[in-house]
């Protein structure tokens, strides 16, 4: 089978930078409290006229440009989001039309903060044909606008989240490179840890659900922290063991940017002695499905990846869900960008 890997990355951040002071005033906490609890200094909020698809389109165009691929060459578009433009149609279809990907089938994935990893695995498995060849290229986007669903007065969540989008283009790479393997898991028994209760078929929108704030994002922070502490090391171990790699062979670690303090506590427990951890949480906050591709794009455009580097992506979030992916970087397929092309 032809190897499938990353040919280019892209990202988009809204223009409006929101400081801890602004967020803290509404949530009833100080700037220092937010920094000490989360490691976040600022985040971006989408403009009033921007929806998730708008952010996704910009990230998609940047990734296609980096990969040197036209939209017409795409066979698949996967958008990972838990804040779609609307319940229907799929946000991916709106992106497909906007970028002119006339030959691509498009669909959404909602695995919350793990969504980008789930979407990447799905796309990588769909590209190879039965004859061992490759059916075009795939565009995988993580995009979310959490500023629309957070309760600005809830200090447990309002201080964490920002908006953004990131994307990658997948296509054929040299043998032995690209996506080496993955590990995906779901824990529906812990679904109550992260939730938006209203707006679906169980609790349709009504005056009552709006008045009670049931359309807001809610999270059990302590429960999520315990889940990540227990499950992330296991997920990292699973993907490495299944594919015969030692922890010392990982060169780069790109995790979901959930909370800087939590990551600071968790990453050392993963036992990745040589890995450089790429963090953008201080500047972006938690951008849900967008956080991994945003950090990946920043690392790529900084020239961090070298040929044959092993990159480990790790997502965790609502569901509860976990996803890890191993990628061996092919610098021939995705050469380091020129310094003057960095975003």
Residue 259: active-site member: no
Task: Out of 20, 110, 259, 286, pick the active-site residue.
Answer: 286
CA-CA distance, 285 to 144, in Å (whole number)?
12
The number of residues in the chain equals 343
**Range list of β-strands (E), 99-177:** 105-109, 137-145, 163-173
Residue 113: active-site member: yes
First to last CA, the chain: 34
CA-CA distance, 6 to 200, in Å (whole number)?
35
Among 107, 141, 142, which residue's Cα sits nearest to residue 257? 142
Task: Out of 137, 216, 256, 284, pick the active-site residue.
Answer: 256
Among 234, 226, 238, which residue's Cα sits nearest to residue 265? 226
- The half-sphere exposure of 25 on its side-chain side, counting CA atoms within 13 A, is 4
Task: Out of 20, 93, 110, 113, pick the active-site residue.
Answer: 113
CA-CA distance, 117 to 113, in Å (whole number)?
9
Question: Which value, to the nearest 10 degrees, does the dihedral of the CA atoms of residues 67, 91, 296, 343 take?
Answer: 60
Residue 256: active-site member: yes
CA-CA distance, 331 to 251, in Å (whole number)?
14
CA-CA distance, 107 to 128, in Å (whole number)?
18
Task: Enumerate the active-site residues.
Answer: 113, 256, 286
């Amino acid at each position: 089978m032809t190897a499938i890997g990353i040919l280019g990355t892209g990202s988009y951040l809204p223009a409006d930078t929101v400081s801890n002071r602004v967020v803290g005033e509404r949530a009833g906490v100080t700037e220092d409290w937010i920094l000490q609890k989360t490691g976040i200094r600022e985040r971006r909020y989408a403009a009033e006229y921007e929806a998730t698809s708008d952010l996704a389109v910009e990230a998609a165009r940047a990734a296609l440009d980096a990969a040197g691929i036209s939209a017409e060459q795409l066979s698949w578009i996967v958008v990972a989001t838990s804040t779609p433009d609307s319940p229907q149609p799929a946000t991916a279809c709106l992106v497909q039309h906007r970028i002119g990907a006339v030959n691509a089938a498009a669909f959404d994935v909602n695995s919350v903060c793990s969504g980008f990893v789930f979407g990447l695995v799905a796309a990588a498995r769909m590209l190879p044909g039965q004859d061992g060849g490759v059916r075009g290229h795939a565009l995988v986007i993580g995009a979310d606008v959490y500023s629309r669903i957070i309760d600005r007065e809830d200090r447990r969540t309002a201080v964490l989240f920002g908006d953004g989008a990131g994307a990658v283009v997948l296509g054929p790479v040299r043998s032995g490179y690209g996506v080496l393997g993955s590990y995906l898991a779901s824990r529906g028994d812990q679904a109550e840890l992260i939730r938006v209760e209203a707006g679906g078929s169980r609790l349709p929108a009504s005056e009552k659900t709006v008045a009670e704030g049931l359309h807001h994002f809610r999270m059990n922070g302590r429960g999520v922290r315990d889940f990540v502490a227990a499950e992330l090391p296991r997920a990292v171990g699973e993907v490495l063991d299944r594919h015969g790699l030692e922890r010392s062979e990982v060169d780069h670690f790109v995790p979901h940017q959930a909370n800087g303090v939590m990551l600071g506590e968790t990453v050392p427990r993963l036992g990745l002695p040589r890995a450089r951890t790429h963090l953008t949480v201080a500047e972006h906050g938690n951008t849900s499905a967008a956080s991994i591709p945003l950090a990946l794009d920043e690392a790529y455009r900084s020239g961090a990846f070298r040929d044959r580097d092993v990159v480990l992506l790790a997502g965790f979030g609502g569901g509860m869900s976990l996803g890890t992916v191993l990628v061996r970087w092919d610098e021939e397929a995705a050469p380091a960008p020129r310094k003057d092309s960095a975003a």
